[in-house]
Amino acid sequence: MNLRTLRRRVVTTLVATTFYFALLIYPLIRLIDWLIPNWQPGTMELLALLVLPPAARVVSSRFPGGLTRRLAVLSITWMGLCFQLLPVVVVLEIFHLIVPVDDTTVGFIGLTAILILGSWGLINAQLLKVRRIPLIADGNLEGRSLVQITDVHIGSRRPTFLRRIVKRINELQADAVLITGDLVDDDIDKDDLQPLAELNATAYFILGNHERYADTERIIGHLRALNVIVLRNEAVDADPFQFIGLDDAEARDTVKKGLSNLSKLNNRYRVLLYHRPEGAEDAADWGVQLMVSGHTHRGQIFPFNYLVKRIHPRMHGSFDVDGLRLYVSPGTGTWGPVLRTNSRCEVTHFQFLSDPNAFPSPSST
C-alpha cells in the first residue's frame, strides 16, 4: 500500500467516523444528558451505543440468515431514529439558549418529539397506498391499466409485506405489473419471493442497484422460476404495449446507450422501465411514451429528503418531458430503517382513459 492510498483511507475513515458521531451518536447522548444530568456511562453502555448498531449490520452481511437479518433491521431502524433525532436536538439547543428552562424540561420535549416522529414513521412504513394516475388512451388502450411497484426491499422487509402488496395488486385487475428494481436486499431465498407466483397479471422486472449488490444471477433465477419476466436491456412485444427494461447503472448516459441498441415497434404504446429517474430526455427522443422509475424513496425520512432532492431534482411524481410522461414512485417499501415520514408506501396504478375531461384527479386508497 503506497502513502497516497494510506492517506486516502485514513481521511475516509476520519470523515465517516465524524459523520457517524455527529449524526447518530451526539443526538442520543445529548438527549440522555438532558434527561439524566448525572448520568456517567460505563464501558458497556458506551459500547452498546457506539458499536452494536453498525456491528449488527456487519454480522448480517457476513452471516446471512433470518435472525441476523432481523437484528440488522432493528439496528439500522435504531440508527434511523437517531438520525431523525438530530434536527430535534439542534432546534432544542437553540431553544435552550433563548428560553430559560431547565435541562429536564428540554429533554422531555425532545423525548416526546422523537416518540411522536418515530411512532409515525414506524406505523406509516406499514401502510400501503394505491395511487391512481390517469393517462390519455389512444387506439385500443382505453380501459387498460398498469401497476408499478418499486423499492420493496425484501430482506429489509419481510415476505409477509410482499404478500400484502400482491394482494393489493390483484385487487386492481391490471394488464401488467412493472417492478422497477430494488425488489430485494441481500441474497434472499426463493421462498421469500414466493408471493409473486400469486400475481394475476404478467409481471416484468428490471434490476435496481440493490440487485447488483447481491448475487444477481441467483435473484434472477428465483424470479424466472416464479414466472416473472426479467428484462435486461431488452424489449418485449405485449400488444398493445412494448415494454423496455434497462439494467440499473451509475452512468448518466445509460438510457441513451441502452435504447440505441433496441428497435421500437410501431403501433405500440412504449413503456420504459428504468430504476433511476434519469435519462428521460433521451427516452423521449427514442420514442418512449411512459417511463416509470423509483430509487429516490422521496427521501423516506426527514431530513434526508433535502439531500435526495439535490441529487435527484425529479424526486417524486409525474413529469412531462418532451411528450413523454415520467413517473417517479416514492417506493413501495423502505430501505434500511423501517421508517417513512415523507410519503407513504405506494402501489401505483396507471389507468388509460380516452376522455381527458373525465379524468379523476390522481387519488389514493
Task: Give the pLDDT of residue 303.
Answer: 79
Task: Give the pLDDT of residue 364.
Answer: 47
Q: Identify the weakest region by mean pLDDT among 37-46, 71-80, 184-193.
A: 37-46
pLDDT per residue over 222-268, tens digit each? 999 999 999 999 999 999 999 999 999 999 999 999 999 999 998 99
Q: Is the pLDDT of residue 67 over 90?
A: no
3-state secondary structure of 111: helix
Average pLDDT over residues 93-115: 92
Both 10 and 36 in a single domain? yes
Bridge-based pairing state of the strands 128-136 and 145-149 = unpaired
Both 136 and 250 in a single domain? yes
Of the candidates 342, 200, 208, 198, which has an alpha carbon nearest to the alpha carbon of residue 275? 208
Split into its structural domains, the chain has a count of 2
Both 81 and 160 in a single domain? no
Both 345 and 274 in a single domain? yes
Task: Give the pLDDT of residue 244.
Answer: 97
Task: Give the pLDDT of residue 354.
Answer: 80
pLDDT per residue over 137-183, tens digit each? 887 898 999 999 999 999 889 899 999 999 999 999 999 999 999 99
Both 118 and 143 in a single domain? no
Q: Is the pLDDT of residue 62 over 80?
A: no
> In three state form, how does the secondary structure of 232-296 look?
CCEEEEECCEEEEECCCCCCCCHHHHHHHCCCCCCCCEEEEECCCCCCHHHHHHHCCCEEEECCC
Average pLDDT, the chain: 88
Residues 288, 324 contacting (CB under 8 angstroms): yes
Provide the grid cell at 318: 409525474
Task: Give the pLDDT of residue 57.
Answer: 67
Domain end point (choices 124, 139, 164)? 124
Both 179 and 304 in a single domain? yes
Q: How many helices (H) and strands (E) does the chain have?
A: 12, 13
Task: Give the pLDDT of residue 356.
Answer: 55
Q: Which residues fall within 8 angstroms of residue 146, CB to CB, at 6 or more apart?
A: 174, 175, 176, 177, 178, 241, 271, 349, 350
The pTM is what? 0.87
Structural domain range at position 70: 3-124
Domain end point (choices 124, 145, 166)? 124
Which strand ranges, in their side-by-side order, compose the sheet holding 176-179? 229-230, 202-205, 176-179, 145-149, 345-353, 128-136, 363-364
Provide the grid cell at 235: 424489449
Task: Give the pLDDT of residue 2.
Answer: 65
Residues 118, 81 contacting (CB under 8 angstroms): yes
Both 174 and 265 in a single domain? yes
- CATH, residue 134: 3.60.21.10
Work out the pLDDT band at 118, boundaries 50, 70, 90.
Answer: very high
| AA identity, residue 136 | I
Both 119 and 145 in a single domain? no
pLDDT per residue over 292-324, tens digit each? 999 999 999 887 888 888 889 999 999 999 999
Average pLDDT over residues 198-206: 97
Domain end point (choices 124, 156, 190)? 124
Work out the pLDDT band at 79, boundaries 50, 70, 90.
Answer: confident
Q: Is the pLDDT of residue 28 over 90?
A: no
Task: Give the pLDDT of residue 10.
Answer: 67
Sign (positive/negative) of CA torsion 365, 299, 54, 117? Answer: negative
Q: Which residues fall within 8 angstroms of residue 88, CB to CB, at 6 or more apart?
A: 27, 110, 113, 114, 117
Q: Is the pLDDT of residue 14 over 90?
A: no
Both 177 and 320 in a single domain? yes
Work out the pLDDT band at 72, boundaries 50, 70, 90.
Answer: confident
Both 61 and 36 in a single domain? yes
Both 183 and 54 in a single domain? no
Provide the grid cell at 344: 407513504
Both 170 and 316 in a single domain? yes
For the chain, percent of residues with pLDDT exceeding 70: 87
Task: Give the pLDDT of residue 90.
Answer: 92
Which residue did the predictor score with more confidence, 210 or 128? 128
